[in-house]
Structure 1
Amino acid sequence: MIRIYHNSRCSKSRSALALLEEHGKPFDIVNYLETPPSAIELKTLLSQLGISARELLRTGEDVYQELGLENPSLDEETLIAAMAEHPRLIERPIVVVDGKAVIARPPETLLAFLRR
């Protein structure tokens, strides 16, 4: 089963969702702003993505500046906690298939990911 962490206000997220629909792949949608992933779920996603917490952060969000998340001395736990508390900080969309994940940005990266 495929899972997409989706934000309906994001054009990239909508495009990724449309690609999944076009390819007839069954999937679950997680509206992560309404149902934010826990810190434990975020750690799993980071492992599946193969990236650090800092790489998953949306640096253009106001809350990023407000929380001082640009500070390079902040550890993974602090960054993960910030994303769990403020899900707008999470880069999107994230698509998970068979224990592996990709940030489908641009959405075309999703096509290559699904073909692997």
Structure 2
Amino acid sequence: MSVTIYHNPDCGTSRNTLAMIRQSGVEATVIEYLKTPPSRDRILELVSAAGISLRDALRKKDTPYEELGLGDPAKTDEDLLEAIEAQPILLNRPFVETPVGTRLCRPSEVVLDILENPDIGPFTKEDGEVIIDAEGKRLV
């Protein structure tokens, strides 16, 4: 199974998502999107495939979102793309692509919906939240 994750190793959600992918038996292609930002066209492909708007793909927390006035409804997709291109941290993460689908995996357990083998056994997030218990029951 081919899986690609647009990853930020400093992000707990992204680390949890990657851990679930690996626990499913897949070694993903990891793209550290802050070091290798996706092109405008690639961003639009990811957003479209995930079924969300470009505005929905913006990260607000710990970014220059407010300072740049990106919440202004008059901002166009072109404005948003320019902002993401200049400051890739504005692109929310992690985006994950698999043959089953593409998702912005927030929360991280969304990745289970697009893995060919979502029965990954017990899984607890870094913060202690149990996603799958010892009996294999998905709790979230």
Does the residue aligned with 2:29 lie in a helix, a strand or coil? strand
Alignment of 1:56-75 (within 5 A): 56-75=57-76
Inter-partner Cα distance in structure 2 for 1:71 and 1:34: 28
- Corresponding residue number in structure 2 for 1:94: 95
Q: Could you list the per-position Cα deviations for residues 76-101 of structure 1 after superposition, in whole angstroms to 9, with x for gaps in the alignment?
A: 11112211221111111110113831
Size of the alignment, in residue pairs? 116
Q: CA RMSD in A?
A: 1.6
Q: Could you list the per-position Cα deviations for residues 39-79 of structure 1 after superposition, in whole angstroms to 9, with x for gaps in the alignment?
A: 11111111111111100001223411121111111111111
Greater RCO, 1 or 2 (C-alpha within 8 Å, sep 6+): 1
Inter-partner Cα distance in structure 1 for 2:47 and 2:10: 23
User: Is the 8 Å Cα contact of residues 101 and 114 (structure 2) preserved in structure 1?
Assistant: no
Q: TM-score, normalised by structure 1?
A: 0.91
> CA, structure 1 residues 112+99, in 2 after alignment: closer, same or farther (shift >3 Å)?
closer
Inter-partner Cα distance in structure 2 for 1:82 and 1:7: 18
- Corresponding residue number in structure 1 for 2:25: 24
Gap regions ≥5 residues in structure 2: 119-140
Inter-partner Cα distance in structure 1 for 2:18 and 2:53: 25
User: Is the 8 Å Cα contact of residues 7 and 92 (structure 1) preserved in structure 2?
Assistant: yes
Which structure has the bigger radius of gyration?
2
Gap regions ≥5 residues in structure 1: none
Q: Which amino acid aligns with 1:66?
A: E
Q: Which amino acid aligns with 1:105?
A: R
Does the residue aligned with 1:8 lie in a helix, a strand or coil? coil
Q: Which amino acid aligns with 1:24?
A: G
Q: TM-score, normalised by structure 2?
A: 0.77
Inter-partner Cα distance in structure 2 for 1:15 and 1:79: 27
Bigger fraction of residues in helix: 1
1:108 to partner: Cα distance: 1.2
